[in-house]
């Protein structure tokens, strides 16, 4: 369709103004103006053809969640950050091999690992480290410890009123503050979040001494539950650190085998009970 007289005059004015501007600006600005001018003409020519297009989205199926690749920190995995030789790279959630869950022995065989692991039944059967127990007067069995220090009905519920006065205002979570007062009554809860008062909690990569203490305790008492009590034998670590080290290092590295866990091709552990 031919442009009407108004449009023709408008085009003439735009062209005239453009020519004046071109003579006034440097080469760099000129290129910018030419780009804008071209975009304006293109937009005008397509004005009647423009319409809003709805971008199709993938329909989400309820009950199915796409796995998300989670970067495990090298500190948690016990990998030396000074080396680039990472034995457990980030898994690709789109890799079909990652959907396969292997038993510990199947995983070791698939990796060609000559593993002779400690065989865990998934339970810790010991009590508090003897040296720690004697130093702080902890009773020699759980029932005695509980009953001699207040007794009552056990509950997992955490209440602020249970926080002892000396542990308030420290910026701790309620769980950590409550457990700080339970060393004599419920040492499992205490050592899950605290080391013994004379010790300093270690952070970062595990030492050979800590690693050896973990394996020795697992051989002697088993491993897999009561992580606070277990941690009292690894004196500079708390229960949740030991639990993480178990899943992220001990099982994938073929040091302990636990029938309650399955592993992906890249060594990520999954609890199956």
Q: What is the mean pLDDT of the chain?
A: 80
DSSP secondary structure letter of residue 256: E
What is the mean pLDDT of the segment spanning 221-229? 97
Enumerate residues 6+ apart whose C-beta is below 8 A from 191: 128, 183, 228, 229, 231, 232, 238, 239
Centre a 10 Å sphere on the Cβ of residue 94 and count the other Cβ atoms it contains: 10
C-alpha 98/C-alpha 267 separation (Å) is 9
Q: Quickly state the pLDDT bin for 71 (edges 50, 70, 90).
A: very low
Buried b (16+ CB within 10 A) or exposed e, 199-232: eeebeebbeeebbebbbebbeebbbbebbbbbbb
17 and 137 fall within a common domain: no
C-alpha 138/C-alpha 129 separation (Å) is 10
Domain that holds residue 33: 5-45
Residue 90 is predicted with a pLDDT of: 43
C-alpha 139/C-alpha 218 separation (Å) is 22
Least confident of 55-64, 193-202, 215-224: 55-64
**pLDDT per residue as tens digits for the range 105-154:** 999 999 999 888 999 999 999 999 999 999 999 999 999 999 999 999 98
Residue 190 has pLDDT above 60, yes or no: yes
Residue 103 lies inside a defined structural domain of this protein: no
**pLDDT per residue as tens digits for the range 168-185:** 988 999 999 999 999 999
Q: 46 is written with which tokens? A: 């397509």
**pLDDT per residue as tens digits for the range 232-241:** 999 999 999 9
φ, ψ of residue 256 in degrees (nearest 5): -140, 135
Q: 244 is written with which tokens? A: 């993480």
149 and 251 fall within a common domain: yes
Residue 86 lies inside a defined structural domain of this protein: no
DSSP per residue, 149-214: TT-----S---GGGS-GGGTTSS--HHHHHHTT-TTT-HHHHHHH---TTS----SSPPHHHHHHH
Residue 209 has pLDDT above 60, yes or no: yes
Residue 155 lies inside a defined structural domain of this protein: yes
C-alpha 126/C-alpha 217 separation (Å) is 9
- For helices 27-45 and 5-24, what crossing angle results, to 10°? 160
135 and 254 fall within a common domain: yes
Closest CA to 235 of 260, 257, 207: 207
Strands (E), 43-154: 118-119
Residue 262, H or E segment: strand 261-263
Angle, vertex CA 248, rays to CA 243 and CA 249, nearest 5? 100
Angle, vertex CA 205, rays to CA 199 and CA 208, nearest 5? 75
Q: Quickly state the pLDDT bin for 228 (edges 50, 70, 90).
A: very high
Closest CA to 188 of 232, 229, 248, 241: 229
Residue 58 lies inside a defined structural domain of this protein: no
Q: 128 is written with which tokens? A: 């508090």
C-alpha 144/C-alpha 65 separation (Å) is 47
How many alpha carbons lie under 13 Å from residue 38 in its C-beta half-sphere? 6
154 and 30 fall within a common domain: no
249 and 140 fall within a common domain: yes
Q: 5 is written with which tokens? A: 């007289």
Residue 122 lies inside a defined structural domain of this protein: no
| Radius of gyration of the chain, Cα coordinates, nearest whole angstrom | 33
C-alpha 123/C-alpha 222 separation (Å) is 6
High-pLDDT (> 70) share of the chain, %: 67
Residue 99 lies inside a defined structural domain of this protein: no
Residue 179 lies inside a defined structural domain of this protein: yes
Q: Report the number of distinct structural domains present in the chain.
A: 2
267 and 144 fall within a common domain: yes
Task: Map tokens 């990520």 to a residue.
Answer: 268
Residue 118 lies inside a defined structural domain of this protein: no
136 and 267 fall within a common domain: yes
């Amino acid at each position: 369709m031919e442009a009407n007289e108004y449009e023709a005059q408008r085009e003439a004015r735009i062209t005239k103004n453009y020519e004046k501007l071109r003579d006034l600006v440097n080469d760099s600005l000129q290129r910018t103006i030419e780009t804008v001018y071209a975009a304006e003409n293109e937009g005008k020519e397509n004005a009647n053809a423009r319409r809003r297009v709805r971008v199709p989205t993938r329909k989400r199926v309820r009950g199915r969640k796409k796995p998300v690749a989670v970067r495990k920190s090298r500190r948690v995995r016990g990998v030396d950050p000074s080396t680039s030789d990472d034995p457990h790279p980030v898994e690709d959630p789109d890799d079909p091999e990652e959907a396969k869950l292997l038993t510990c022995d199947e995983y070791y065989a698939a990796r060609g690992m000559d593993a002779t692991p400690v065989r865990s039944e998934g339970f810790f059967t010991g009590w508090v480290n003897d040296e720690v127990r004697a130093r702080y007067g902890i009773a020699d069995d759980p029932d005695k410890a509980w009953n001699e220090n207040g007794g009552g009905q056990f509950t997992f519920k955490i209440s602020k009123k249970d926080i002892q006065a000396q542990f308030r205002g420290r910026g701790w979570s309620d769980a950590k503050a409550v457990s700080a007062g339970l060393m004599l009554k419920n040492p499992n809860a205490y050592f899950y979040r605290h080391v013994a008062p004379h010790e300093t909690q270690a952070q970062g990569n595990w030492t050979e001494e800590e690693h050896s203490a973990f394996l020795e305790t697992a051989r002697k008492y088993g491993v897999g539950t009561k992580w606070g009590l277990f941690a009292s034998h690894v004196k500079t670590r708390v229960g949740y650190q030991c639990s993480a080290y178990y899943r992220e290092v001990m099982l994938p590295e073929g040091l302990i085998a636990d029938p309650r866990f399955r592993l992906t091709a890249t060594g990520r552990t999954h609890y199956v009970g």
